[in-house]
Amino acid sequence: MNDRIIELKDIKKSYGQVYALGGVDLHVDKGEVVGLVGDNGAGKSTLIKILAGAVRPSSGDILVRGERMGSWNAAMSRAAGIETVFQDRALAVQQTITWNIFMGREITGPLGFLRVRKQQEEASRLMREIGFTSKVFGPNAIVGQLSGGERQGVAIARAIYNQSELIILDEPTTALSLTETAKVFHFVEQVRAAGRSILFIGHNIHHVYDISDRFVVLDRGRVATQIAKAELGSADALIKFMEELAHPKESGQKIERKGTAA
């Protein structure tokens, strides 16, 4: 079985004469957390939308578990086991945890009746699977009562229920306290331990560094480097590299653009 969940080869996306992506190579393997970083305008949002099937690339190849996809759209992305949790999480805060997990994919019986108890039991199981240990909030708790980190947990649990093998987290720690960020990290670690993969997008380089196994740095629509945490050494080294990309003349160093890591 191919452990490479998804692979992008020479992905380009242009809007008229403007290139959002100028030939991106990227892959995510089973059970790894990949940190995707880059300044504003680097192409992260376009790349996420392509992975989610919301935007079609102008050219390039998308491979799922080694099989080249002839076309690509949102339905194919979901069928491939890819789920995107956007920054706003798309949660209905006035509804329960259970309702948010199962909305649109309700569990019903042979006659079409909603299996309420089964959904509550499954919601509890999913929340336990990602390490949601709060005894205060059960499956019928209102999402609006949860903290920011716990709401991320609900969104991640929903992605797991949707049979996702690759969960894309778009800025999951934005505006969260250190305690809430730690909760999100715990959820991510539980997902990785279960053999699923995470593409973690963030502006806070220290957050991305702490949770990721490997890093992909985008710069003006291209991959500037792909590097494993063990090779990098520290978050400061990643920050310095990104600063040199933004101000190459000031650093006096030539930035080497590296291809896709094996």
Please write the tens of the pLDDT for every residue from 231-250: 988 999 999 988 888 776 65
Domain interval for residue 163: 4-251
pLDDT score at 261 = 38
Is residue 212 a contact partner of residue 37, using CB atoms and an 8 Å limit?
Answer: no
The residue ranges of the chain whose pLDDT is under 70 are 1-2, 133-136, 248-262
Report yes or no on 50 lying in a domain: yes
Report yes or no on 261 lying in a domain: no
pLDDT score at 175 = 83
pLDDT score at 198 = 96
Report yes or no on 257 lying in a domain: no
pLDDT score at 253 = 45
Specify the number of domains making up the chain. 1
Report yes or no on 259 lying in a domain: no
Is residue 88 a contact partner of residue 27, using CB atoms and an 8 Å limit?
Answer: no
- Give the pLDDT confidence of 59-102 residue by residue, as tens digits: 999 999 999 998 899 999 999 999 999 877 789 999 999 999 99
Q: Considering only CA atoms, which of 214, 222, 225 is closest in space to residue 257?
A: 225
Report yes or no on 144 lying in a domain: yes
Report yes or no on 151 lying in a domain: yes
Q: Considering only CA atoms, which of 27, 10, 22, 31 is closest in space to residue 188?
A: 31
pLDDT score at 245 = 81
Report yes or no on 258 lying in a domain: no
pLDDT score at 249 = 62
pLDDT score at 174 = 87
pLDDT score at 2 = 66
Report yes or no on 256 lying in a domain: no
pLDDT score at 37 = 95
pLDDT score at 257 = 41
pLDDT score at 154 = 92
pLDDT score at 11 = 95
3-state secondary structure of 138: coil
CATH code of the domain containing 75: 3.40.50.300
